[in-house]
Amino acid sequence: MREWNSPWNPFNSAKVLIWREWLEACITGDYLPPVTVDIDLSRHCNFACPFCNAYNIINNKLPNLPIKHWLEVSDFIKEWGAYSACVAGGGEPLTHKGFNTFIQYQWQKNGIQNGVITNGSLMTDEHIAVMAENCRWVGFSMDAGTAETYIKLKGIKKKEMFRKVCDNIAKLCRHIDKINSKCDVAYKYLIHPDNAHEIYQAAKLAKELGVRDFHSRPVGFDNIKPLHGLTNEAFRSVVDVVNEQIEKALELEDENFHFYGIRHKFQPNMERKVAFKKCRAIPLIATFGADGNMYLCFDMRGRKDLILCSHYPNPREILGIWGSDFHKNMINNIDPKTCPRCTFGPYNEIIEKVFLNDSMCRYFP
Ligand code: SF4
């Protein structure tokens, strides 16, 4: 099962070993400030993807938190010591009017690296300029290689939207080249029975648009609702197609275009994989929800029993909670088998195998 041509890439989970001190602190319970944070800038979305992992927290009726607050959050995370922020979940980040202000403030004032995931439908030339100058990466949730599949998987009606978003991607790529920015653009592709057959086509399109990375992975399907009645069998039936498509797409690689068919976080049949006994890695990240709450885990946003505290109006409230018995007990009580797809699964596995079991003889070359 080939996932990439070069292991030196952002989707290789072994990179967590760079954060050795943080992992050791996760084991002892003396948690360090998080390496990174998730910022859910907006709880609104103009799309309705059936596999959205935020479907239960998107609320287009309630207002978003004011930008003034998010700038205070940015100052706080700088002071706390985080290095980067993923501005993505909870809703579509570009539906927050203060998006550009936040992204610029983060990088230019606080030196925090931004990563953004967007559906790309609301991008203006101003967004493009701001992202190119202030983001380390921008990922576009595409999940399709044709307009027909796109509207089906995005829950929208207008086929023209696919072309519009493709044009926005190409514009961003051209602007990045023009200003010689280090911002990587990714075409993101959640693999689903309805799009499994066009992974290669999408990768070819992505390369033509000028993106640097194509990132595909199975959608976390077995516990994200509503899935329109899809069964595990529907996913199993496309495993061979997916493997063939990924093999073919890997041949498109050159020095400017990289293809990633990420499957190591899943079982070979694309079902959820839990290869660790306990949750330990989650204090590597802090999650600032669009609803003003801080959640224990970004994969479990919206779960009332996993709220650590509020960050609105005072982002510093978390300092009294982080590393407390309350925080540690909440993590200790997690049963990984009951979690949705665990993004940090490989990190939890590395803690057990490398640090606790010393399976790699860590003190030998
Ligand atoms: S999904 Fe569960 S096991 Fe994974 S990091 Fe989140 S709380 Fe921990």
Q: Residue ranges of the domains in the chain? A: 13-356
Angle between the 160-179 and 147-154 helix axes, to the nearest 10 degrees?
100
| pLDDT higher than threshold 60 for residue 168 | yes
Instruction: Find the 283 Cα to ligand 1 centroid distance in Å.
Output: 10
Fold of 13-356: TIM Barrel (3.20.20)
User: What percent of the chain shows pLDDT beyond 90?
Assistant: 85
Is 306 near ligand 1, meaning CB less than 6 Å away?
no
Instruction: For the chain, state the CA radius of gyration.
Output: 20
| pLDDT higher than threshold 60 for residue 363 | yes
Q: What is the pLDDT of residues 204-213, one digit of tens each?
A: 999 999 999 9
Specify the 3-state DSSP secondary structure of 242.
helix
Spell out the alpha helix ranges (H) of the chain.
Answer: 20-28, 67-80, 99-104, 125-134, 147-154, 160-179, 199-209, 232-236, 239-250, 325-332, 345-350
How far apart, in whole angstroms, are the C-alpha atoms of residue 341 and residue 219?
Answer: 9
Tell the residue nearest (CA) to atom 7 of ligand 1: 297
Confidence at residue 226, expressed as pLDDT on a 0 to 100 scale: 57
Is 284 near ligand 1, meaning CB less than 6 Å away?
no
Record the tokens describing residue 330, joined without a space: 């909440």
Instruction: Find the 307 Cα to ligand 1 centroid distance in Å.
Output: 14
Q: Is 337 exposed, middle or buried (0-12, 13-18, 19+ CB in 10 A)?
A: exposed
Pocket test for ligand 1, best of 300, 329, 335, 352 (most atoms within 8 A of CB): 300
The answer to whether residues 76 and 319 touch, using CB atoms and an 8 Å cutoff, is no
Residue 45's nearest CA partner among 64, 63, 58 is 58
Mean pLDDT value across residues 237-251 = 95
Residue 170 per-residue DSSP state: H
Q: What is the pLDDT of residues 257-286, one digit of tens each?
A: 999 999 898 888 888 889 999 999 999 999
Is 339 near ligand 1, meaning CB less than 6 Å away?
yes
Mean pLDDT value across residues 82-109 = 96
How far apart, in whole angstroms, are the C-alpha atoms of residue 84 and residue 161?
Answer: 31
Q: Is 263 exposed, middle or buried (0-12, 13-18, 19+ CB in 10 A)?
A: buried
Record the tokens describing residue 108, joined without a space: 């230019």
Give the mean pLDDT of the chain. Answer: 94
Confidence at residue 244, expressed as pLDDT on a 0 to 100 scale: 97
How far apart, in whole angstroms, are the C-alpha atoms of residue 101 and residue 114?
Answer: 12
Confidence at residue 7, expressed as pLDDT on a 0 to 100 scale: 95
Q: What is the pLDDT of residues 123-158, one digit of tens each?
A: 999 999 999 999 999 999 999 999 999 999 999 999
Confidence at residue 228, expressed as pLDDT on a 0 to 100 scale: 61
Residue 305's nearest CA partner among 318, 293, 292 is 293
- DSSP character string of 258-302: EEEE--TTB-TTS-B----SS---GGGEEEE-TTSEEES-GGGTT
- Residue, of 207 and 234, whose pLDDT is higher: 207
Instruction: Find the 345 Cα to ligand 1 centroid distance in Å.
Output: 7
Residue 244's nearest CA partner among 195, 290, 200, 302 is 200
Confidence at residue 253, expressed as pLDDT on a 0 to 100 scale: 97
Pocket test for ligand 1, best of 53, 344, 351, 352 (most atoms within 8 A of CB): 344
